[in-house]
A and B are shown apart, each in its own frame.
Chain A
Amino acid sequence: MRSACSSPRAAGHIIGKLRLALTVAAVALFCATADARMVFNRASSADPDTLDPHKSNGNTASVVLADLFLGLTTADAAGELVPGAAESWTISPDGLVYTFKLRPDLSWSDGTPLTAEDFVYSYRRVQQPDTAARYAQWFWAVKNAQEINQGKRPVDQLGVRAVDDRTFEVTLSAPSPIFLEINATIMGYPVPRHVVEKFGNEWTAPGNHVSNGAYVLSARVPQTRVTVIKNAKFYDAANVKIDEVNFFPTENLGTAFNRFRAMELDVALNFPPEQIDWIRANLPKELHVAPNLGVYYFLINNKKAPFTDRRVRKALSAAIDRESMIEKLFDTGVTPAYSLVPVVVPNYNVGAADIAGRPQAERVAEAKKLLADAGYGPGKPLKFSLLFDTLEENRKMAVAMAAMWKPLGVEVELSNSEFRDIQRRARTGEYEVMRFAYFSPFADASGYLNLYRTGDASNYAGFVNTAYDQLMTEANATSDIAKRAELMRQAEKILMDDYAIIPIYHYAGRRLVHQYVKGWIDNARNQNQSRYLTVARPAG
């Protein structure tokens, strides 16, 4: 700064000299790349919390874990569910017994054979209370699982057994249509018993870590990178092209964006939203916007007056002009939402609220009438506080909502707090209306709709409806895909037409992918395992 007048010239001079050196280096590099390893530099949102799949919260580590481990099922290049460690399976007619046939000659990355016993051990480990697995409940459909997790039964009573080395059998307590799906999640990954028991909590350290996926851990520098290298023992190693993958934490979106532009990153998971116009103009082929499994919505405290009145809830939801709000404020690929379940969720047709598709003016007029019927008007305005967590995007959203409610004579007090506090207040019901977001861990409508069953620990809106509960109970026990989808659609329709919550938009993943990364297919799961990709980075 102090040498501001001379620095451009000096820089120019340096560049002049460097150009020659660079040319030499580029030629050298080009010659060297002929037999060079294929390296892929990708982003993980933040430093992974742990590389123990059962203990991870999945937010930051799942992209790394998906390269390291392979469950009985997995996702293919397009994000579709396909066989993983199991080559096939059979399901008993009552839907209660799953028999998985493992691929022949599976082994861990250290060469130890991987057998059905490893899956027995891993299934049990997830339910063992002292493992404190984050999402043990995903497997509570397995016989005795919940009681084991509560410490009420010994772990060997779990409904799993190794029939022989290659046959793994699971008995469920009730049919679970999403059972194959959850086997592809981090809770379904097997962990190597011989390593876990030898090293304890240290088993995830480089040098100790052993996995069964396409890659093995090579280095882990906290807050800097996780490096994995190709696993020669992986059953499909012949088709894995990338030799080395570096995962870089990218909490700072601006930095990640700059690193992408400088080709330090081949893929960036997100970018600063204000850059979207520049990116559309300058990097249109690198920009990948695809709907994902997230929904942005507002919780209404259904247990608290005046929100016990459906008319009030409906008026608030109907008055929001989602389309123009998104166009003006959040033009980053998100889509207006009239359902809890995102449209992109497979094998499902959403049960949208009855205000969907109606002209905005008509909806506002109805909202005014509804509020008047409920006893609110110029003399007696509806007053409540709108709670959101401290993020610029949420503040903009809250201000816009308050502005749209104002013509109805609604007086909103905006109140913000830290994310953690918001989450706690959702749990304890200390709010009136608050912003919320949910990403389902699996691509299935039940991942969303189960949350609104009476008494569900995550039913933060306090929605109670026996017809809804019955439909969901029935759906959760139905394996016929079409029939189950219809039951869930009917349930969602009840939830939406009761206006228990206010969906605003469905999220879209915003990725930046360099064109030299081949095989990248956008998908709702946002899963792109490195084993399906190739990288042909231009030299220099």
Chain B
Amino acid sequence: MIDYALRRLLIAIPTLFLIVTASFFLMHAAPGGPFDAEANLEPQVLKNLEAAYALDRPVPEQYALYLGRIFRGDFGPSIIYSDRSVTSLIATGLPVSLQLGLSALIIAACIGGLLGTVAALRQNTNVDYAVMASAMTGIAVPSFVMAPLLTLIFGVTLKLLPIATLEPGGSLARAIPAFAPLTPYIMPVIALALPQIAIISRLARAATIEVLRQNYVRTARAKGVPGRSVVLGHTLPAAALPVVSYLGPTVANVVTGAVVVETIFQLPGMGRFFVQGALNRDYPLVLGIVIVFAMAVIVMNLIVDLLYGVLDPKVKTGQA
């Protein structure tokens, strides 16, 4: 298994290289440069600015310079935030996104998995219909509707929670000071988790129903294994597979930037840096985040594949 993991990580190097190359040239091919949005820039000033970021050199030379830099582990200076390095921006954005994304996904996986399993076990009853109807609503209501709604109810009207940024606030924080540091996360995590709960509960339900029809489950039941053990011991591990394979890339996605939620709650996560970097043609910032994102996807996919081996005896990673 360690062999397999190492081999996969080695293959990741050329993959990363290709991603960086493609992103680099795509970014430079997009119309307009980092300073084009500034009205009335003197040509001489523009020249000085471009020289400061080596943007006056031919694109292939810039590419070579960039590669040389990332091999030294330096993502370069950000162009929009001129007094900060991309590394420092990622260092501040990644922990926020990680905290936000992981808590939302853990909550979503627990609640969604539970709801889906219950719905599957009570298939075609009112419980099932209720769970699936709310799941449909959860998928249909996008976070840019849910987030402002939460803000309006809990922030503006009830004044329970702070509305934006990571500063504790609201009457809840004042009433229970120990709880204060958590208050800024409550609404963003809910807004981020709700649609995921919906998707995961649907996946879990379908997978559980599928597994419940398998011969080995029927055999277990025929042998007189108690219902609880059938569900926990035989059904759940197999039913978890589709959920796990969904969670892998989703973790990478959510963790590297819940753009909408970060924007509405004004959280300093990676998603906002990414979008602003792209809009402002901040080449080093966007490329830095692309690299982090690509690494997250690669690592998460590897973890999912390794988990497959644990959950499903039919998958043997060693022989892959």
Contact = CB atoms under 8 A, between A and B. Distances in A.
Interface of A: 1-2, 11, 14-15, 18, 21-22, 25, 29, 47, 49-52, 55-57, 129-137, 146, 149-150, 201-202, 204-205, 221-225, 248-252, 254-255, 258-259, 261-262, 264, 417-421, 423-424, 427, 438, 451, 457-458
Contacts of A204: 83
Given A134-B45, A149-B48, A255-B266, A458 B37 contact: no
Contacts of B69: none
Closest 8 CB pairs of A and B: A420-B32, A223-B268, A21-B175, A458-B40, A132-B52, A50-B83, A132-B48, A137-B42
Contacts of B44: 136-137, 146, 149-150
A1 B138 contact: yes
A461 B195 CA distance: 49
Contacts of A14: 160
Contacts of A262: 155-156, 159, 163
Contacts of A261: 156
B164 A264 contact: yes
Contacts, number: 173
A222 B48 contact: no
Q: Which of B31, B163, B176: most chain A CB closer than 10 A?
A: B163
Category for how many chain B residues contact A: 35 or more
A18 B172 contact: yes
A223 B152 contact: no
Nearest to A29: B174
Given A50-B83, A418-B32, A252 B266 contact: yes
B171 interface: yes
Contacts of A2: 115, 134
B37 A420 contact: yes
B31 A225 contact: no
B43 interface: yes
Contacts of B160: 14-15, 18
B202 interface: no
B140 to A, nearest CB: 11
A451 B41 CA distance: 11
Q: Which of B41, B51, B162, B172: most chain A CB closer than 10 A?
A: B41
Interface string B160-192: 101111110101101110000000000000000
Contacts of B162: 264
Interface string B239-271: 000000000000000000000000111111100
A323 B93 CA distance: 46
A496 B172 CA distance: 59
B232 interface: no
Contacts of B281: 420
Contact of A222 (B41, B42, B81): B81
B37 A224 contact: no
Interface in B133-158: 134, 137-138, 141, 148, 151-152, 155-156, 158
23 contacts: A1-B141, A21-B175, A25-B174, A50-B83, A132-B48, A132-B51, A132-B52, A133-B45, A149-B44, A222-B84, A248-B164, A250-B266, A251-B266, A252-B266, A258-B163, A259-B163, A262-B156, A262-B159, A264-B163, A418-B32, A423-B38, A427-B36, A457-B41
A201 B77 CA distance: 10
B36 A222 contact: no
Nearest to A263: B159
